[in-house]
Every structure is written in structure tokens, then in C-alpha cells.
Amino acid sequence: MDNFLPGSASLVDCVDKKILVILRDSRKLIGWLRSYDQFANLVLQDTVERTYVGDQYGDVYRGIFVIRGENVVLLGEIDKEKETALMKSLKNVPVAEVREAQKQEQERRKIREKAQKRVLADKGFSVDVLEQHDHY
């Protein structure tokens, strides 16, 4: 534990490395970490926003991206070998196709959740829960 750095100081090892950042709104950003501060605000260079649906993914180039630290749920360095192996198993498609597939998946999920709530309500469980879109 000699090398332990508390808080955002632990990001020093990730500077100038390719990282994945998952935000509170579930967006996934991949880019080169260039800078950060004591609040874990991040500056990413050559950033892409990646959207996954099933075995497909689509990338939208975002360039320089500044992320407020309170919106970061998870971040980590990307292992080049594992990324290469994973990308071979996924199909890169235009973002419009991925977004359409994502909408269809969300609709199926809503229908499934509605059916589950109906079954739970029939069994006497309360299904009045606050819907939350914030993944924090």
C-alpha cells in the first residue's frame, strides 16, 4: 500500500492513456486522458461516444471532451489486447442503426417491465416505484 494515492490523485497513472468513462446518463466515452483536477473533472482528447446494442456498436467522434467529475460513474484504462479481441466479436455499424436498435430494445424492456409489474400487482405487491433515469 506504499503507492496508494487518495481521491483523484490516483488518476495520475492514467494520464496520457486511453480510458473508458461511463457517465451518470449511461453514455460511454473512450478517449485519451490529458488532464484532471482535484474534483475529478477530466479532459479527454480524440473522444468517441460508443453505443452498444447486442453484438453491434456505433461510434460518434466528439473530439476534445471536458467531463465534470460528479458525472463520472466509472473510469478505467483500456487494455489494447482485450479491446482488439472484443472488437473482433462485435460488428461496427452506423450510429443511426445502433440508435434505432436501442429504441426497439427500450420498447421491449418497457413492455416486459409493465408485464412484470402487472404480475406483482396481482400478487399483492406495491409497484409504485420512482422511475430513475440517473445511473448514479
Report the number of secondary-structure helices (H) and strands (E) in the chain: 2, 6
How does residue 21 score in pLDDT terms, banded at 50, 70 and 90?
A: very high
Tell me the residue type at 65.
F
Q: How far is it, in rounded angstroms, from Cα 5 to Cα 26?
A: 27
Q: How far is it, in rounded angstroms, from Cα 98 to Cα 56?
A: 7
pTM: 0.73
**Residue 134: per-residue pLDDT:** 54
Eight-state DSSP code of residue 14? G
| CA dihedral (9, 10, 15, 21) positive or negative | negative
Contact 67, 23 (CB under 8 A): yes
- Arithmetic mean of pLDDT, 21-30: 94
Q: How far is it, in rounded angstroms, from Cα 19 to Cα 68?
A: 16
How does residue 36 score in pLDDT terms, banded at 50, 70 and 90?
A: very high
Domains of the chain: 7-122 (2.30.30.100)
- Arithmetic mean of pLDDT, 69-81: 92
Eight-state DSSP code of residue 119? H
CA max distance for the chain: 57
